Structure 1
Amino acid sequence: MGIKHLFKQTSGWLYLNSSVGRNQLHGAGVILMLHRVLSNDRAADLPHRNELCVGPKAFDHLLGWLTRHFDCVPLMDILQPTQRPSKRPKVALTFDDGWRDNAMNAFPLLLKHQVPASIFLSSDFIGSRQRFWWESISETLWGTHGEEPRMHLIECLQQAGRPLPGLLDNADADRRSLALLRFVQSLKTLTADELNRLTDECPTDSMPQALDWQQVRALENSGLVRFGPHGASHAILTGLDDCTLAQEIRRSRDALQNGCNRPLPVYCYPNGDNDARVRQQVADHDFPFALGTTTGIYRGDSEPLALPRFGVSQRVARNPQLLSWRIYRGARA
């Protein structure tokens, strides 16, 4: 363990356990952002998965750590508190996209620790075989589906003017995975149609990537999980014209109202991208709150349509003291 890493862990632990830290966090809320919980930790360790994925052992460890240091509460208990502030800071878990593994791998651990969570659904994907482009492209390029599909996709990317960097042939798995992460992030500048065409060139998975509505209702009926919209098609909202933007927000809102008993009055921006125009449209569709991806503590005076969250990667889930360091930095901001 490096000195810098050890310093962050120690400082974060001291902050959470000091009177200064407790005073600064009194009445505050910490909102965490997760995406996926995979079936094993080794798969989540690679850089191209690390940011959006955690493994079950790491997630179990994170939940145990959170329950020792925080009051784990539903998101709305932070946004619209009905009780007096407790002596411990509050934390709420949110999951973006609506991955199938939220039900298969995350929920049993949430149930074990009795930690509530909010899942934000990209509604077009729920109950369909439509795929999340970044997952299909990255795993195909990683070789998960074999060499022939990988080479075919590489050829398609070259034709689209997006040739792979040389580092993706590196023998070192971590370096190759990091290069893949950066390359897939660079594809976000492509249009939705271009990304869909590339996704169609990837092998069809045997199982849908997203939850279905039966799973959504089962999780909701547990009383531990609530759902909110994360766009319909997961389009980046800031890139849409006014008419398409309104349709995207309305379609996702209506899908949740039809598919859930108590959808959250909270919108979650795909990729976190928002601006004044997008926020106004979200407000016009009767959402008093919306989640972004900027880092910070919620104290009740934040912009309600761009709420801060702390992202949780596999590395952070394995070492939650790193999260306490980030909370410390966020509390000072």
Structure 2
Amino acid sequence: MDAKLLLKRAFKGWVGSAWQYSPAGRARLTTAGVVLMLHRVLADDQAANTPHRGPLCVGQQSFEMLLIWLRRHFDCVPLQQLLEQPGGQRPRVALTFDDGWRDNAEYAYPLLERHGVPASIFLSTDFIGSPQGFWWESIGETLWQHAADPASQPLRERLRSHGVRVPDALLQAGSSAVRSRALGALLQRLKTLPAVTLQALADACPATGAPHSLDWAQVRQLESSGLVSFGPHGASHGILTQFSAEQLAADLRRSHEALQRHCQAPLPIYCYPNGDHNAEVRAAVANLGYRHALATQPGLIDASQNPLALPRIDVSQATAQATSLLAWRLFKGARA
């Protein structure tokens, strides 16, 4: 990391920490709740530190340090409790995880249990209990491990048919930051493709063995702990604003019914895939009985927000490792 970036991070961390401990920061944080957005906890911090994984992954060691920091400075409460009463004598925080990664049962849950921190997991329900992998991981790992190998040729050909070129940097051997950044940029480009296209691309990847997602037995086991609650994150994980009215209704209904069927107490809270929503999507979610919905724009939770477009603060590997950077994110969220 170059000196300029280090200096920039140090400045952000100083500003964030100074605000958090200031009278103004403490007052703001005791009147507005914080909802954190995570995705996947990995066993290995080194793997989470790569540029293409860092925004969505947190290493297990960093995750535990994050939990310790949160317990020191916040009351860690269930999401539904926080949304109903954001403020308190101490700042309040709720943890959310998107997608339903199997890793979170193996690496996140034991730490949640150890530190007594509740969490909510929002499931992409078509993938739960399915051998189909999440497209992001299937495509990403195929290109990261086999970009120049015959094993990735079917995927590369399908990408070309959709006008997507694999960058030359990614076709090189090794695990350099340059390769990782090229892969991260490519995956971000793919997010705008239709869900059916992304799944076809994932299906062109070689099998990796263990499934990426939780299965329903794991969901029931985690829910029975009393520490983890579950809500819907769409069925297909497609961008809801790209669907026709009929497709939107079908996707929302499918995810809703899956949670009702498999969970004892599913959350009355929706979580938009990729955070995308509009008036039509919000109305369709409300028609299914959801009183709150989570997006991805940064901010704190208070009475001024639309309950069907609530903000969250995202947690990356960098912010989990350096909680002063998370304090900076809170500072920015308070000003949003």
- Mean alpha-carbon deviation: is it higher for 17-26 or for 110-119? 17-26
- Is 1:118 the counterpart of 2:125 in the alignment? no
State the match for 2:95 in structure 1: 93
Runs of 4+ in structure 1 over 6 Å off:
none
**SS at 1:211 equivalent:** coil
Q: Distance in 2 between matches of 1:145 and 1:264?
A: 40
- Comparing 151-160 with 33-42, greater Cα deviation is found at 151-160
Partner of 1:16: 20
Aligned to 1:147: 149
* Partners of 1:144 and 1:165 in 2: CA distance: 14
Q: Residue 25 of structure 1 aligns to which amino acid in structure 2?
A: L
Distance 1:110 1:285, change over 3 A: same
Q: Does 1:258 align with 2:264?
A: no
Measured in 1, the distance between the counterparts of 2:225 and 2:176 equals 40
Counterpart contact for 1:133–1:199, Cα < 8 Å: yes
Please, which runs of 5 or more residues in structure 2 have no aligned partner?
A: none
1:36 aligns with 2:40: yes
Q: Which residue of 1 aligns with 2:64?
A: 60
Which one of the candidate residues 80, 90, 97 is aligned to 1:76? 80
> 1:110 Cα shift?
0.5
User: How large is the Cα RMSD of the aligned pairs?
Assistant: 1.7
- Partners in 2 of 1:74 and 1:146 — Cα distance? 45
TM-score (structure 1 length as normaliser): 0.95
2:34 is paired with a residue whose SS is strand
Mean Cα deviation higher: 163-172 or 14-23:
163-172
Deviations 1:258-298 (A, max 9, x none): 11011000000011110111001001111010000000011
2:53 match: secondary structure: helix
Q: How far 1:102 sits from its partner (Å)?
A: 1.1
| 2:281 counterpart of 1:314 | no
- Residues 294 and 309 of structure 2 are in contact (CA less than 8 Å); yes or no, is this contact kept in structure 1? yes
Q: Flag the 1:154–1:111 CA change in 2: closer, same or farther, 3 A.
A: same
Which residue is equivalent to 1:209? 212
Look up the match of 1:183. Answer: 186
Greater displacement, 19-28 / 309-318: 19-28
Aligned position for 1:218: 221
Q: Calculate the TM-score normalised by the size of structure 2.
A: 0.94
Name 2:29's counterpart in structure 1.
25
Distance 1:92 1:85 in 2: 12
- 1:4 aligned residue (2, 8, 15): 8
Change (3 A) 1:172 1:203: closer
Q: Quick check: 2:275–2:296 contact (8 Å CA) kept in 1?
A: yes
Structure 1 gap ranges (5+) = none
Alignment of 1:235-274 (within 5 A): 235-274=238-277
Following the alignment from structure 2 to structure 1, what is the Cα–Cα distance between the partners of residues 147 and 162? 21
- Answer yes or no: is the 8 Å Cα contact 1:157–1:163 preserved in 2: yes
Paired-residue identity, %: 53
